[in-house]
Structure 1
Amino acid sequence: MIPNRFSLLAPALLCIALAACKTHAPDPAPGATFVLVRHAEKATDDPRDPVLTPDGMARAQRLAESLRDTSLSAVYATAYRRTQQTAAPTAQSHGLAVTTYDAKQPASEFAALLRQRYPDGGVLVVGHSNTVPDIASALCGCAVEAMPDTEYDRTITVRIAADGSAVMERSRQN
């Protein structure tokens, strides 16, 4: 029996149809990642603007090491010495300057500025026990528990997808 034209053409048409269905959609934009920490342990040398203790300096170094393989576009810290000293090792290791932000700026305004300025990439924000939870909450649109004045080891990471959806993760830094 001699095969008809359709039986010879069917496998070829099937391959063409499968190849046409196998289009690859472009990968979505990676979005933004904001890493927020409170400054490291502070000394008692100045009640208004203390420096970091040796333990605090060590914690700042460990923060830089933990973010070594993270792509950062910016590092932000308030004007206080303890936040600047916490941010400095990470900024230096990424070849970035520390951008100073006003600790008294409303968290919602600062978060909006960060989201607008950095729609993708990574940003480290170093703040205070009374500012970091509010900034994280404003970035993710979720509730963030308060941070006691004795807590120095919490890291809050807020990932914002290209579609604007946000996910918050909490971890502890040793």
Structure 2
Amino acid sequence: MKRFSVLLTACLLTSPLVAQPDLVILVRHAERATEPAGDPGLTPAGQQRAAALAQALAGLRVNAIVTTQYRRTRDTAAPLAQASGLQPLVVDAKAGHVQAVADAVRAQTGVVLVVGHSNTVPAVLAALGGPKLVDLCETSFHHVFTLQPGPQARWAQFSYGAPSKPPEAGCL
């Protein structure tokens, strides 16, 4: 019995006891409209991109979605959320947002989609253990970043949907 309790204690000390996702997928919201000024939705191109995102991720069995309160992030996630029967978790974009999103992601398991903004997606990727990248360009909407969290975090970048305009200097 003593040997079993020592073995159990050793396993508990070396095994994580907190939830952690297997895979995190990070994207910027799709192309946004110009009206209304405070909280625009998506353009027709943005709606097509949101549908392309849902199609690109369909086989991954996403089981959690994190967005901001802004319509453009919620609309980008909507096709996948509807197809998967998921209700996105909304994390307000305010002071401490990047850490709040990272904490929300770490509380999930399985595959998690994060739909953010040009200046938050790279920061959230870094907060979760990925590389520190420059912000996304205002004209870049096609990037997808994936991260397998853990001590040996692995990440990748690929594109989806229609190509974006060429990047300006100093951003992706």
> What SS class does the counterpart of residue 140 from structure 1 fall into?
coil
Identity %: 40
d(CA) in 2 for partners of 1:71 and 1:166? 21
| Residue 145 (structure 1) aligned to one of 129, 134, 139 | 134
1:113 and 2:104 matched:
yes
Matching residue's letter, 1:44: T
Moved over 3 A (4+): none
Which residue in the other structure is 1:168 paired with?
Answer: 155
Q: TM-score, normalised by structure 2?
A: 0.76
d(CA) in 2 for partners of 1:38 and 1:31? 19
Structure 2: unaligned runs, 5 residues or longer = 1-19, 162-172
Shift of residue 64 of structure 1? Answer: 0.2
CA change 1:128–1:31 in 2 (3 A) is: closer
Structure 1: unaligned runs, 5 residues or longer = 1-29
Shift of residue 96 of structure 1? Answer: 0.5
Which residue in the other structure is 2:73 paired with?
Answer: 83
d(CA) in 2 for partners of 1:83 and 1:137? 20
Shift of residue 165 of structure 1? Answer: 2.5
Shift of residue 141 of structure 1? Answer: 4.2
Q: What is the CA deviation profile of residues 102-147 of structure 1, one whole-angstrom value per residue up to 9, with x for unaligned ones?
A: 12233234213322x12x4100110110111100111124212221
Which residue in the other structure is 1:122 paired with?
Answer: 111
Aligned residues between the structures: 141
* Aligned Cα root-mean-square deviation (Å): 1.6
Shift of residue 76 of structure 1? Answer: 1.1
Matching residue's letter, 1:112: D
CA change 1:121–1:44 in 2 (3 A) is: same
